[in-house]
Structure 1
Amino acid sequence: MTTAKLIQGYEVVIGFETHTQLATHSKIFSRASTAFGAEPNTQACAVDLALPGTLPVMNRTAVECAIKLGLALGSHIAPRSIFARKNYFYPDLPKGYQISQFEIPVVQGGEVSFFLEEGKGADKQTVLKTVRLVRAHLEEDAGKSVHDQFEGESGIDLNRAGTPLLEIVTEPDMRSTAEAVAYAKELHKIVTWIGICDGNMQEGSFRCDANVSVRKPGGPLGTRREIKNLNSFKNMQIAIDYEIRWQIEQLEDGLPIQQATVLFNPDTGETRAMRTKEDSADYRYFPDPDLPPLVVAPEWVEQVKATMPELPRAMAQRFVRDHGLPEYDATIVTQSTAMAAYFEDVATTSGQPKLAANWLMGEVARRLNQDELAFDELPVSAAQLAALITRIHDGTISHNAGKQVFDALWSEQDGEAEVGTATAQIDALIEAKGLKQMNDTGALEAIIDAVIAANPDNVAQYKAGKDKAFNALVGQVMKASKGKANPGQVNAVLKAKLQ
């Protein structure tokens, strides 16, 4: 870990608990459906409600999801783990207890690593951060209290009761909001990459609780407050920043911090205490008498391992090794399986992996954000972008002209073109828009001669050592050529003539 940046003389300490809803068709201990969006209370069966005479039965797919996560994060997968009853009373918990794992979880230890940009300007650098994991344990979800749909009354929807969760708990290793958000994004990438969670934060499939405290550097850990159910990375950043400021203000005013569970209000950007935070003793854990120990044989782990995809960090390292990408670029283009596959297609077809990465991190990302599209909704095919990059690289068009062609492709919304068709399509667009660069040396020299003759002051300034005067002459050449001159060729010819 690098030295933490202090805020008003305080060091921030953050840990995470993330509830990951597992991608199973049925619940963790019953056959009831986990489909989202059903009418309230239509997907809660007798087992989910713990009615007399019912017994829970472990969902094998949920266990396989836990094994996959353990393999992906370098964790120890316990050969024997135990389920416990976590006792508390809340209207949306129909049993009066939640089946979870306490003393012996199925996934133990592990880590999540990610790159983070630190500093500004010339001091800006990309740093590898690592957050250690304590555990990941299987448990069932509770129901949901609904407060906004009834006048003066609340409703209880038990459809979610019994939905399988994997709660992933970190050590308090994060020292800034930026680190916390970057960790959450990396974990989100991993669980969706290996297919154990759909990652839909709005539907509650990936819910983050941030434990935030502040302390004087070198001092003991401060009292933490847990911000519950952060359902977007933007809200996560705002909520943690607010909580940090609030805690520092409390301490500076001589007031104590009380351990509590707090909620974030996205309308006000503020956190507020919901209840005093319980400790494990308050939940009166004891082994669930209806469930035997969960045994995971080494052969089962090996079977699951054989089905695992290439992990994002391993793929990023391969892109560095095979395509010569910087580590940061390789990390960005492996944000999802769809993006990684797209990049590899473009890089292989065009033979220009660095240009391919630049376009994905630049124009492609900008347009996706602007139109609020997911990457798998990208309307420009890999073959089209590869053909466009090829024409930029061979000097047929400039980078700026390439942006115009890209915008035209985006507007046409035709992302199915094959390689041969894509090349013909790109060439036709370049021709139709008159974007082909001027590569005729004789014509270019004539323009440059005219610009030199018309701008004696800039010529004199350049010869006196002022580089800005040279840039002004280049601009005049580009203007005279209507943007069709090759900038590299302009620079070379102009410098030769001036010298």
Structure 2
Amino acid sequence: MEYEAVIGLETHVQLKTRSKMWCGCANAFGAPPNTHVCPVCLGLPGVLPVANEEALRLTVLTGLLLNCEIPARAKFDRKNYFYPDMPKNYQITQYDLPSTRQGYLDFEFEGRVVRVRITRAHLEEDVGKSFHFERFSGVDFNRAGVPLLEIVSEPDLSSADMAYAYLNALKETLIQGGISDCDMEKGMVRCDVNVSLRPRGATTLGAKIEIKNMNSFSGVRRALEYEIQRQMDVLAAGGTLRQETRRWDDVAGITEPMRTKEEAHDYRYFPEPDLMPLAPTEAWMAEVRARLVELPLARKQRFMREYQLPASDAETFKNDKPLADYYERLAVQTPHKKTLANWVINNLRAQMSATGTGLEQLRFTPAALLKLVDLVETGKLSSKAAQEVFGEMFQTGQDPAHIMEQKGLVQVSDAAALEALCEQAIAENPRAVADYRAGKAAALNALKGCVMKLSKGKANPAVAGEILERKLKAQ
């Protein structure tokens, strides 16, 4: 029997706030263990939580970015379970009335735009982090209480590669939306996978297997590849799959059983008695909507439509918002939008990468780059010479026209000035002339190359080519 995979993802994202969710402790990575803690995030008796309003804003902003509904009322709940890194022995989260619900994310996969539905994006708190040593274990509670957004997808994914593409699209949306830095090395993004198999074409779901302990998107992809094949092998052998939680061993490249999957009633959810329900006002919602940004895929499509950029250029800008912003500020000022994109992507970005320079550190003005593009497009500067001018401009910040004149790089486009050079090239290359007359069009390039050599690179190749063609046909 042929099976198909049904995959849903639960992505946990630390929000970009200065303080934790319920207290004033710093939300910062890398501090010595248990130094960013207080009675609230340590769960000591008698303390009361106070919600971080910026975290509430970022949660709703995420919902808007993911095309979610924003309910008129939401609340917090207690999710009860016992684990060493959970200081209160319960987690404050959102259960039946989350802050966002029923959205979607569009992204590109295998040459088409696909849509994954978002069940909800709800707000909760992170837990501490356990460390296991040779003879004992320790817990660092610096992370406990950090605002954490759980983004739950519908089971709309069908392969490991599709899940990988979804996660990367989600990450770019959150980074560009200012929701999170999404630094996986700092634990800012973590993901749990739910995967089941069913006969291809069936509508009912198979036994749901949850996979935990994946520290990278590539780990998610590898875990899914392994688990899908494992489940196929079990079913092919006549076995039965049951709902359970498994752990991904990244070194061994396998999943291992952890426990039978808990149900919602196992957590004994009940409304958090120390926090009021949330009821956002229109004025508050307007403040959040004012922070909306254009989604990466929408920007790519718009750049292709408005600036006639190829998909590869638009993809580069989609993945680099600061570079895209820089390009767009200039693109509206020039008719040479594609040429400008070439210079920004192939020259400016390369120089910045090689020198570790940021856009805010550029020595030349945006107007200088526009002038360079115009010099090339109007034939006053050859493409080869423009590379030299740009290198000097990047280092010194000087005006490109000044550099061009100072270095004697002005391109010769005057037809009268090029006539003699073209005649000399024809006279000195009889074989190329004969090849051209025999129908070998490429021979014209050899003659143009001769003109360029005679002019020490200053001849306009387009004008030289026109003169050569005219003279050869006349002969």
Q: TM-score range by the shorter chain?
A: 0.7 to 0.9
CA distance in 1 between partners of 2:252 and 2:365 (Å): 39
CA distance in 1 between partners of 2:314 and 2:97 (Å): 37
Q: Give the RMSD, CA atoms, in angstroms.
A: 3.7
In the alignment, structure 1 residue 484 sits paired with structure 2 residue 468 = no
Q: Which amino acid aligns with 1:486?
A: N
- Specify whether residues 79 and 392 from structure 1 end up closer, same or farther in structure 2 by C-alpha distance, changes over 3 A only: same
Q: Given that residues 13 and 173 in structure 1 are in contact (C-alpha distance below 8 angstroms), is that contact kept between their aligned partners in structure 2?
A: yes
Select 2:131's aligned residue among 146, 170, 183.
146
When normalised by structure 2's length, the TM-score is: 0.82
Q: Given that residues 68 and 102 in structure 2 are in contact (C-alpha distance below 8 angstroms), is that contact kept between their aligned partners in structure 1?
A: yes
In the alignment, structure 1 residue 240 sits paired with structure 2 residue 221 = yes
CA distance in 1 between partners of 2:441 and 2:197 (Å): 50
Correspondence for 1:188: 171
Superposition pairs of residues 286-435 of structure 1, within 5 angstroms? 286-287=269-270, 288-309=272-293, 319=303, 323-325=307-309, 329-330=313-314, 332-369=316-353, 381-410=365-394, 412=395, 424=399, 426-435=400-409
Deviations 1:397-418 (A, max 9, x none): 23343333333444x2x6xx5x
Correspondence for 2:184: 201
Correspondence for 1:157: 140
Correspondence for 2:418: 444
When normalised by structure 1's length, the TM-score is: 0.78
CA distance in 2 between partners of 1:361 and 1:117 (Å): 24
Q: Given that residues 343 and 382 in structure 1 are in contact (C-alpha distance below 8 angstroms), is that contact kept between their aligned partners in structure 2?
A: no
Select 2:82's aligned residue among 86, 89, 92.
89
- Specify whether residues 218 and 327 from structure 1 end up closer, same or farther in structure 2 by C-alpha distance, changes over 3 A only: same
Q: Given that residues 230 and 264 in structure 1 are in contact (C-alpha distance below 8 angstroms), is that contact kept between their aligned partners in structure 2?
A: no
- Specify whether residues 151 and 318 from structure 1 end up closer, same or farther in structure 2 by C-alpha distance, changes over 3 A only: same
- Specify whether residues 448 and 61 from structure 1 end up closer, same or farther in structure 2 by C-alpha distance, changes over 3 A only: same
CA distance in 1 between partners of 2:121 and 2:174 (Å): 12
Q: Which amino acid aligns with 1:56?
A: P
Q: Which amino acid aligns with 1:134?
A: T
- Specify whether residues 439 and 116 from structure 1 end up closer, same or farther in structure 2 by C-alpha distance, changes over 3 A only: farther
Correspondence for 1:6: none
**Which deviates more, 453-462 or 91-100?**
453-462
- Specify whether residues 216 and 331 from structure 1 end up closer, same or farther in structure 2 by C-alpha distance, changes over 3 A only: same
Correspondence for 1:129: 114
Task: State the shift of 1:218 in Å.
Answer: 3.3
In the alignment, structure 1 residue 49 sits paired with structure 2 residue 42 = yes
In the alignment, structure 1 residue 494 sits paired with structure 2 residue 468 = yes
Listed as ranges, the gaps of 5+ residues in structure 2 are none
CA distance in 2 between partners of 1:238 and 1:371 (Å): 32
Correspondence for 1:124: none
Correspondence for 1:99: 92
Aligned residues: 465
Deviations 1:31-70 (A, max 9, x none): 2221333221111221212221122222222111112122
Deviations 1:170-219 (A, max 9, x none): 22334555544443343333323332323333323334445566777535
- Specify whether residues 86 and 365 from structure 1 end up closer, same or farther in structure 2 by C-alpha distance, changes over 3 A only: farther
Correspondence for 1:284: 267
Correspondence for 1:251: 232
- Specify whether residues 475 and 301 from structure 1 end up closer, same or farther in structure 2 by C-alpha distance, changes over 3 A only: same
- Specify whether residues 100 and 249 from structure 1 end up closer, same or farther in structure 2 by C-alpha distance, changes over 3 A only: closer
- Specify whether residues 322 and 240 from structure 1 end up closer, same or farther in structure 2 by C-alpha distance, changes over 3 A only: closer
**Overall identity of the aligned pairs, in %:** 39
- Specify whether residues 106 and 374 from structure 1 end up closer, same or farther in structure 2 by C-alpha distance, changes over 3 A only: farther
Q: Given that residues 211 and 227 in structure 1 are in contact (C-alpha distance below 8 angstroms), is that contact kept between their aligned partners in structure 2?
A: no
Q: Given that residues 67 and 304 in structure 1 are in contact (C-alpha distance below 8 angstroms), is that contact kept between their aligned partners in structure 2?
A: yes
Listed as ranges, the gaps of 5+ residues in structure 1 are 1-8, 119-126
- Specify whether residues 395 and 40 from structure 1 end up closer, same or farther in structure 2 by C-alpha distance, changes over 3 A only: same
CA distance in 1 between partners of 2:261 and 2:7 (Å): 18
CA distance in 1 between partners of 2:3 and 2:357 (Å): 39
Q: Given that residues 19 and 27 in structure 2 are in contact (C-alpha distance below 8 angstroms), is that contact kept between their aligned partners in structure 1?
A: yes
Give the match's secondary structure for 1:188.
helix
Task: State the shift of 1:101 in Å.
Answer: 1.4
Task: State the shift of 1:158 in Å.
Answer: 0.4
Q: Given that residues 243 and 271 in structure 1 are in contact (C-alpha distance below 8 angstroms), is that contact kept between their aligned partners in structure 2?
A: no
